[in-house]
Amino acid sequence: MWKEISSESGQYRGRVQLVNGHSPANLSLLISHLTVEDGGYYRCDVGAGEHIDITLTVEVCTLVKNENGSSIKAHAGGSVLLPCYCTDLHRKPETFIWKKLNTVTKMWEEISSESGQYRGRIQLVNGHSPGNLSLLISQLTVEDGGYYRCDVGAGEHIDITLTVEVLDPPKTTTPTVQTTSSTSTASYPQPSDCKHSTLTAAEMFLLHLICV
């Protein structure tokens, strides 16, 4: 059975509107915030057996996957970008969520920037591309290491293993200070200089003492 579409109730509440561009004969229908359930067969019926049928297919986001899995290493105190992309960067998934595996309960837990371990340290970095779901984690700690999942629903997800390493402190060396001592030797007139006549009065007196 064909069912009338209404923006007042049901599945399409607040999501459909006529877009006629001030042309009374333009009966085009705009559907916003598409969901997979919106896919199907539509009919524009003007009565008297006059109508057109349209088939709408709503595709979900298919994530770019690494066949060998994805492992990332980062350093404590730094930042890391966990990549997650739809194959079509212009297609935003209906819903998506980042999770981390709790190794104690073996359950996936949602990551939130509002509370818990990641308060104020995570943000989405999409570069104005709706299909870019990458997650940036700042001020990394060792506890941030583990297994992450980018989940867009309908069984579509990718898993990433993050290892956070602590850098060894730089080695310090103690500078060696070497000192040298110098001995200055005063030069005194020698007895052989007694014949020189170009000496000062003080030198003449000292020379006199030496020569005597």
pLDDT digits (tens, 9 = 90+) for 55-85: 998 877 899 988 777 999 999 999 999 999 9
pLDDT at 95 over 50: yes
User: pTM of whole model > 0.95?
Assistant: no
The angle formed by the CA atoms of residues 189, 190 and 196, to the nearest 5 degrees, is 70
Please give the mean pLDDT across all residues of the chain: 83
* Residue range(s) of every CATH 2.60.40.10 domain in the chain: 70-165
* Number of other residues whose CB lies within 10 A of the CB of residue 204: 12
pLDDT digits (tens, 9 = 90+) for 102-160: 999 999 999 988 878 999 999 999 878 999 999 999 999 999 999 999 999 888 999 99
How far is the C-alpha of 199 from the C-alpha of 193, rounded, in Å?
Answer: 10
CB 118 within 8 A of CB 140: no
pLDDT digits (tens, 9 = 90+) for 29-40: 999 888 878 889
For residue 86, give both structure tokens: 């739809």
Closest Cα partner for 137 from 118, 116, 151? 118
How far is the C-alpha of 31 from the C-alpha of 54, rounded, in Å?
Answer: 13
Phi–psi pair at 165, nearest 5 degrees: -105, 150
How far is the C-alpha of 179 from the C-alpha of 172, rounded, in Å?
Answer: 22
pLDDT at 171 over 70: yes
CATH topology of domain 70-165: Immunoglobulin-like (2.60.40)
pLDDT at 206: 47
User: Could you tell me which residues are beta bridge partners of residue 17?
Assistant: 30
